[in-house]
Structure 1
């Protein structure tokens, strides 16, 4: 019995808490500082108290609170696998706005090797995750949004392939009444969406050799409004690139860089992006009628008069179609839809992937060329 106890005690002592915490800290990148006030336990159950992440422009202040790891296993080349990570909450503050997530669980987590043949020193992966609530507050502490009962599933990539993902949010609430004063807030309230609710399902793939973003399924349901389905495929969109764009905008707003510097920096990032195609379909469940009534009231005209106006001149979001070979199709679809709102679909199926920067230039210089390159189609009630 004593011999068994010695073996067990020795096995527990062999696990290096400090090395594991160091690898955990490295998972957030080289430009951040990960701190904690205490560590306890072993590889079966290890806890870190008051975990905080500081240092990057995008994440200047993130609190993870008490983090609990269960079932830690050491792997080759400094990697670790963890059966489960539990975080009671995450508090993320950016520009005075706060995101608070509670009841988080991550299952089958991997911290990749930090040296050796894999050459990975940041990031971590997990197979499934759940959260109870995600809340968004503005800089005046007003709650703007609430996501409830979220679930995420990730399928790891093989070699350089993208990672498949599925996200389900059981309930979304947008607190429109807490929005800043303005036409958007007033319009949604007038349409009966003081607190707009719905649900969201997303599926697709990201990353890989081409830095792909393949949004295969975006299904947003607005209660008492309608259903929006979107698919979209692009490449070249790395996380570093997107963070750079956000940081450039932030630095410009704070007066740290000039607008010309911001636009040149953003141009350097966007030129990496390519567009493969996409599709948008809206199924109406009363939103169109509410939108027409609200806009007509603002303009001081009858709802039918507004419909006639849109039929003859196209709504603003289709203004680019004017004087192109797409205009007649758009006019026909809008007319059909406004006469009996059921569904409206717009799709783009280019012959080959298109550089986003060239699309932007075409849109500015030649709308006809833009329409041709995108190979647009629009149809109603199908």
Structure 2
């Protein structure tokens, strides 16, 4: 009797495991299809031959990246491996890491290579057309190793690494993001055009070395996007930083933008599609509000070199050219009928040319300005824009 009970228990357990197995098994094809669907809302997609599953690892082969606006073109990725994959609420997926094979493309003596391409913490939505934070394709980190471009067998452009991070704020209020493109190097020593070669030599730009950095945040409820830093920093040239802050870029705005983009892609008449997209963008811009913006350049010796070179082309010294520019700027600004800004620009240019350190153009209105007001001013009274936006120009601060 006991023996019979044990047999029945074993058979029941086997049956339970048989029925439970498929419920917990990953569907590799579904993972890839939903990843492609999430990319499609931004005008791209993925095609693949097959997706095999081994535990929590999905390996897709024959992967191709397709841009909707160029249906005849595709990029062969080859193999794509998603590790630590698990299904999430709503039919989506989460992958701890996504890796790709190194890229090596060459034609005769020219080549491009990208190594160690990887994504960390990839969230694939179950419903890419939804309107919540969980319906957006997100990643926690993205990076590459060295990127090299060779022309005629010689290195002309290199990037040591790219790293970017996307961090969810507490209670899913938004995101903080940052990115770094480090070890950016360009070799301009083999430029063939004689005039360009002379300028490169005089300006000391045979080897360009620097990095690009970005930092910012996005608040979902208000749609506030704050780009605190978007900087290009190069040795012996300078650092150019662009910052901006605007509101209204909500999830609904993003969804409307994606729908407009999708409609434009589906229209076979490209001229009509572009016109429709332009009108859609004009309508969406009405929802945005301008908070602030700035452009700042910190000199690292390029200004004096540029003045000396430009002066030599006109038969004068760099100092003489600087003095000429001081007198020319007020005349040019006077034509714009902006007396207050004219004085600021003239004073800033004078200070900067006397001792090049930094030059800043900032727009900080007392209160946020709706984009329709800015567009109205641009069409009706362009000379009022500086006062509407609170534009200020300063040097060496």
- The TM-score with structure 1 as length reference comes to 0.77
1:370 maps to 385
Q: Secondary structure at the match of 1:233?
A: strand
How far apart are residue 374 of structure 1 and its match? 1.7
Report how far residue 179 of structure 1 moved: 8.2
After superposition, the Cα gap between the structure-2 partners of 1:116 and 1:170, relative to the gap in structure 1 and judged at 3 Å, is closer
Structure 1 gaps, min length 5 = 93-97
2:212 to 196, 200, 209: 200
SS at match of 2:69: coil
Residue of structure 1 in register with 2:317 after alignment: 302
1:26 aligns with one of 25, 31, 37: 37
1:71-110 to structure 2, matched below 5 A, reads 71-89=84-102, 101-110=114-123
1:63 aligned residue: 76
Deviations 1:30-69 (A, max 9, x none): 6655322233332422211121132511684233321111
CA distance in 2, matches of 1:84, 1:235: 33
Equivalent residue, structure 2, for 1:130: 143
Task: Report the Cα distance in structure 2 between the residues aligned to 1:255 and 1:183, rounded to whole angstroms.
Answer: 40
**Deviation for aligned residue 1:366:** 3.7
State the alpha-carbon separation in 2 of the partners of residues 184 and 230 from structure 1: 27
CA displacement 1:328-376 (0-9 Å, x = unmatched): 1221121111111122222211122224454355356545411211212
2:229 — aligned with what? 217
The answer on 1:112 being equivalent to 2:132 is: no
Aligned mate of 1:352, from 357, 367, 384: 367
Alignment of 1:274 with 2:286, yes or no, is: no
- Pick aligned residue for 1:40 from 26, 49, 52: 52
Alignment of 1:245-264 (within 5 A): 256=271
Instruction: Output the CA distance in 2 between the equivalents of 1:172 and 1:123.
Output: 31
Distance in structure 1 (CA, Å) of the matches to 2:174 and 2:332: 33
Instruction: Give the distance between the partners of 2:128 and 2:255, measured in 1 at CA.
Output: 21
Task: Check the 8 A contact 1:63/1:91 in 2, yes or no.
Answer: no
More helix by share: 2
Map Cα deviations across residues 221-257 of structure 1 (whole Å, 9 max, x no partner). Answer: 111111223321124566688889999xx9xxx9946
What residue ranges of structure 2 are gaps of 5+ in the alignment?
1-12, 106-110
* 1:168 maps to 2:180: yes
Would you say how many aligned residue pairs link Structure 1 and Structure 2? Answer: 369
Q: 1:321 to 1:343 in 2, by over 3 A?
A: farther
Mean Cα deviation higher: 146-155 or 359-368:
359-368
- TM-score of the aligned structures, taking structure 2 as reference length: 0.74
Per mean C-alpha deviation after superposition, the further-off stretch among 283-292 and 198-207 is 198-207
Query: Which residue does the alignment assign to 2:343?
Result: 328
